[in-house]
Structure 1
Amino acid sequence: MIEELTTKRFLLRRIKDSDLNNIYKGLSHPEVIKYYGVSYNSLEATREQMRWFRELEQKETGGWRAICSAGDETFLGATGFNNLSKEHKKTELGFWILPEFWGRGIIQELLPVICNYAFENLHLHRIEAFVESENVNSAKALKNQGFQHEGTMVDSEVKNGKFISVELFAKLKSK
């Protein structure tokens, strides 16, 4: 995975050990984890997430980056790829933003750069995104960037003791 990607307003950089507090802030915030599959209730527990980020890159099965403002590198959220398959030329995209930065077009500005990187530099053909059915904002962001809704996996996961449905979106490399 590349070290950094930039847009006019944002920087994607490697997640550092010093990001632990910000990762915890996001992945313990009720509004972030409402539609997110991972949450933590302590800094110590969040260290597991930090190990997971490192393992993804070591195993070459993905990579996540901190989303920061380009000017002062304020931490805004995180994005990246999981389950990268070189054989099948595909990956799974994930992202989350701290609530105080919602509504600023961050994901809209970053998705074209992230997708282009996946298609051109990682030589992938397909990017998938799995979105909880009630997460209309993430679904809208993906649709606005050319991701196609491929279907609903009804009652496919259990969250907080209840079945939830998950929407599958995908974007293919243009031919």
Structure 2
Amino acid sequence: MKNIPTLKTDRIVLREITGSDLEHIFNGLSHPEVIRYYGIRYDSLEATQEQMRWFAEDKQCWWAICSPDKETFYGAGGLNDLNMNEKKAEIGLWLLPEFWGQGIMTEALPLITNYGFQQLQLNRIEGFVETENHNCKKAMAKLDFKKERTLKDAEFKDGKLISLEVYVKTNINI
């Protein structure tokens, strides 16, 4: 079993996702506003078990984003598709809508990227953002992720092709 350390600031705690988070994960990944720009969605707790199995895979490193007392679940974030040979990963994050606009994303993303660079010794962290997700693009730029390219008509979503912008942050200490 992999060891997911607890990360924290004064306002948030990132802790390992556990089986008791199933309902929280379902609430997020079934919420129309959360999944609007997110590539995964579930329509039942049973279906959400697939996401829980995915979180447990060795190549994923995800956290529950919570209040400092760990009582309030804000969302989830982490590193996908860890590739230790190429020293890179993809970053992902989502928040429940009632916590949008409170600076949680801009506090959680640096914790995740710093962990990737300092503890996992990654050289490159990529973020794939739907072209219509303006809030996420603003947050990525604010956190020094640079837009590298646009993948035109890269995925099918809701029966139509969507484009993705690739944002990248590299470990400048290497």
Q: TM-score range by the shorter chain?
A: over 0.9
Equivalent residue of 1:164, what SS? strand
- Residue 149, structure 1, aligned to residue 151, structure 2: no
Aligned match of 2:122: 124
Bigger CA drift: 32-41 or 103-112? 103-112
Aligned to 2:167: 169
What TM-score, normalized to structure 2?
A: 0.95
Calculate the TM-score normalised by the size of structure 1.
0.95
Deviation at 1:146, TM superposition (A): 0.3
Q: In the alignment, is residue 82 of structure 1 matched against residue 80 of structure 2?
A: yes
Opposite residue 64 of structure 1, the aligned amino acid is: W
Instruction: State the one-letter code of the partner of 1:46.
Output: T
Distance in 1 of aligned mates of 2:34 and 2:104: 15
Contact between 1:11 and 1:73, CA under 8 Å: does it hold in 2? Answer: no
Q: Which moved more, 1:102-111 or 1:92-101?
A: 102-111
- The runs of 5 or more residues in structure 1 that have no matched partner are none
Which of 54, 63, 66 is residue 65 of structure 1 equivalent to? 63
Equivalent pair of 2:79/2:112 in contact (CA under 8 Å): no
Contact persistence 1:9–1:71 (CA under 8 A): no
**1:138 paired residue among 131, 136, 139:** 136
| Superposed displacement of residue 72, structure 1 | 4.5
Letter in 2 for 1:120: Q
1:87-102 correspondence runs (5 A): 87-102=85-100
The C-alpha deviation readout for 1:95-140, integer Å capped at 9, x for no partner, is 0000000000001112222111111100001100000100011111
2:113 matched to 1:111? Answer: no
Tell whether the 8 Å contact from 2:4 to 2:61 is kept in structure 1 after alignment.
Answer: no
Q: Distance in 2 between matches of 1:42 and 1:112?
A: 32
Q: Deviations over 1:14-69 (max 9, x none)?
A: 111111111000000000000000000011101111111112x3xxx121110001
Moved more, 69-78 or 41-50: 69-78
Tell me by how many angstroms 1:90 deviates.
0.5
Alpha-carbon distance in structure 1 between the residues aligned to 2:17 and 2:132: 28
In the alignment, which residue of structure 2 is the partner of 1:53? 55
| RMSD over aligned Cα atoms | 1.0
Write out the 4+ residue segments of structure 1 that deviate beyond 4 Å after TM superposition.
Answer: none
Cα separation, 2, equivalents of 1:115 and 1:72: 21
Counterpart CA distance in 2 for 1:79 and 1:174 is 23
Indicate conservation of the 8 Å contact 2:37/2:130, yes or no: yes
